[in-house]
């Protein structure tokens, strides 16, 4: 029985993680495509910022809509719908010849990405035992680092030689394979245990998430999600371009960001180990403080060695915190509103993903230094850490509430 359970957990992790990896490939490749489009289409800094922000607008809408739907039609069905949106949108975007069409497709891709991620973590969290739940969800998140690594490799070898269009086509193809796998994926046993008559309407779910019982947890999660997403997309979507601003060529910036990306994997793995040993709050607060300090010193770095070291630490701590965030979020709500609660928090977080990428070029246009901009990210991350420290409750190895 135990052996069978382990195989089932590994299969679930592999299927969900594969889709997660392909999603990360798309987001990762986008940061390199933005830099390439600046050259091909002569984009301004503000136009580059809008590409990342429109993607986050789609993710905000997708997280909200599909998070609510996950409590009505099931986690598995939402998986398939969102992955189809993402895959088709990625493939067609390779054919874009204008910024407006490209932005429209990035919105569609964002719908799929935003809807899939919180629902994936919810499905996995509901399908594994309490003593393994945190570690398995963080390991699910580690596929994101693998996706970023593949994105960096594709961008380094493909974009300079074959163009950004080929990179986007490659990022779309594997998603169809994950879709094939997910057709045979069982839905969450906890969701299936909720009778149809017990499932709340969309408006009842929204009301319940903000009820007196859940108000404090919801407020904490929304602050946490906003600050983490704001800083992540503001910093990481601009990493190749920031390296160019600091005097490196586009090819060199791709090389250095690839090196920094490698640090994401040990960030996830250490967080996966610590989350069941020291708890969710310890990992979240500790890794967020590490991210804040790294962001500050990355912004002030004036040498190649310091840029790479602080960039590596930034990747290590930030992605470890992301893993804990996805493990922690579904644990705040009962099954009847778990998809809605996670989706709404992720949706609000994506508002930060809209603001972050836009803030960099707008403040740069006002002659604000990279140091000052990364200091803003540092402060935002510390606010998120404070919200967890003061308002968060420890959920390590606690059974998930059903109703």
| Domains observed in the chain | 2-183+210-391 (1.20.1250.20)
H helices of 158-249, where?
Answer: 159-162, 164-182, 189-192, 202-209, 215-236, 239-245
pLDDT at 90 (0 to 100): 87
Q: Tens digits of per-residue pLDDT, 87-121? A: 889 889 999 989 999 999 999 999 998 998 888 88
Determine how many CB atoms are found less than 10 A away from the CB of residue 251: 10
Between helix 130-157 and helix 304-328 the angle, nearest 10°, is 140
Rounded average pLDDT over 19-38: 84
- Mean pLDDT, residues 149-166: 86
Give the whole-angstrom CA distance, residue 320 versus residue 274: 10
Alpha carbon distance 74, 83 (integer Å): 15
Look at residue 314 and tell me whether its pLDDT is greater than 70: yes
Per-residue confidence at 366, pLDDT binned at 50, 70, 90?
confident
* Res 3 pLDDT > 50: no
C-alpha span between 236 and 253 (Å, rounded)? 13
Q: How many Cβ atoms are within 10 Å of 270's Cβ, its own excluded?
A: 17
C-alpha R_g of the chain? 20
Phi, psi of 394 (to 5 degrees): -75, 130
Specify whether the CB–CB gap between 167 and 33 falls below 8 A.
yes
Instruction: Give the residue carrying structure tokens 């993607």.
Output: 55
User: Quick one: which of 232, 254, 9, 11 has its CA closest to 136?
Assistant: 9
Q: Please tell me which of 49-53, 172-176, 201-205, 367-371 the model is most confident about, judged by mean pLDDT.
A: 201-205
pTM score, two decimals? 0.85
Q: Are 283 and 274 in contact (CB under 8 A)?
A: yes
Q: Which of the residue ranges 167-171, 262-266, 399-403 would you say has the lowest mean pLDDT?
A: 399-403
Q: How many CA atoms lie within 13 A of 127 on its CB side?
A: 26
Residues 262-303: tens digit of each pLDDT: 788 899 889 999 999 999 999 999 999 999 999 999 888 878
Confidence of residue 250 (pLDDT cuts 50, 70, 90): low
CA 15 to chain centre: 17
Evaluate if residue 137 carries a pLDDT over 50: yes
Average pLDDT over residues 52-74: 90
pLDDT at 30 over 90: no
pLDDT at res. 251: 60
CA dihedral 29, 31, 32, 36 (to 10 degrees): 120
Nearest 10 degrees: CA dihedral of 370, 376, 382, 383? -160
């Amino acid at each position: 029985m135990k052996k069978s359970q382990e195989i089932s957990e590994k299969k679930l992790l592999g299927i969900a993680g594969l889709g997660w990896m392909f999603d990360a490939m798309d987001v990762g490749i986008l940061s390199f495509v933005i830099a390439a489009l600046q050259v091909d289409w002569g984009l301004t800094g503000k136009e580059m910022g809008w590409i990342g922000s429109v993607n986050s607008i789609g993710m905000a809408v997708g997280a909200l809509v599909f998070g609510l739907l996950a409590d009505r039609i099931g986690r598995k069905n939402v998986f398939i719908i969102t992955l189809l949106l993402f895959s088709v949108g990625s493939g067609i975007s390779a054919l874009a010849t204008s910024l407006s069409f490209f932005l429209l497709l990035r919105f569609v891709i964002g719908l799929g990405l935003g809807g899939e991620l919180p629902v994936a973590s919810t499905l996995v969290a509901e399908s594994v035992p309490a003593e393994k739940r945190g570690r398995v969800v963080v390991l699910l998140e580690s596929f994101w680092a693998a996706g970023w690594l593949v994105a960096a490799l594709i961008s380094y070898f493909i974009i300079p030689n074959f163009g950004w269009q080929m990179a986007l086509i490659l990022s779309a193809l594997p998603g169809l394979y994950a879709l094939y796998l997910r057709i045979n994926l069982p839905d969450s046993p906890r969701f299936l245990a909720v009778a149809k008559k017990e499932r709340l309407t969309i408006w009842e779910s929204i009301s319940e998430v903000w009820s007196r019982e859940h108000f404090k947890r919801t407020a904490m999660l929304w602050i946490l999600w906003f600050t983490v997403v704001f800083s992540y997309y503001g910093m990481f979507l601009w990493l190749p371009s920031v390296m160019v601003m600091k005097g490196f060529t586009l090819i060199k910036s791709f090389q250095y960001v690839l090196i920094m990306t490698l640090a994401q994997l040990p960030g996830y793995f250490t967080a996966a180990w610590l989350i069941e040993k020291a708890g969710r709050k310890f990992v979240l607060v500790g890794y967020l403080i590490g991210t804040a300090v790294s962001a500050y010193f990355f912004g002030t770095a004036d040498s190649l060695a310091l840029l790479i070291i602080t960039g590596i630490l930034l990747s290590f701590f930030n992605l470890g915190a992301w893993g804990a965030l996805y493990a922690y979020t579904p644990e705040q709500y009962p099954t009847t509103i778990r998809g809605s609660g996670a989706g709404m928090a992720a949706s609000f977080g994506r508002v930060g993903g809209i603001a972050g990428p836009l803030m960099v070029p707008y403040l740069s246009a006002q002659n604000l230094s990279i140091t000052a901009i990364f200091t803003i990210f540092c402060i935002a991350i510390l606010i998120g850490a404070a919200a967890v420290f003061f308002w968060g409750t420890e959920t390590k190895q606690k059974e998930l509430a059903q109703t």
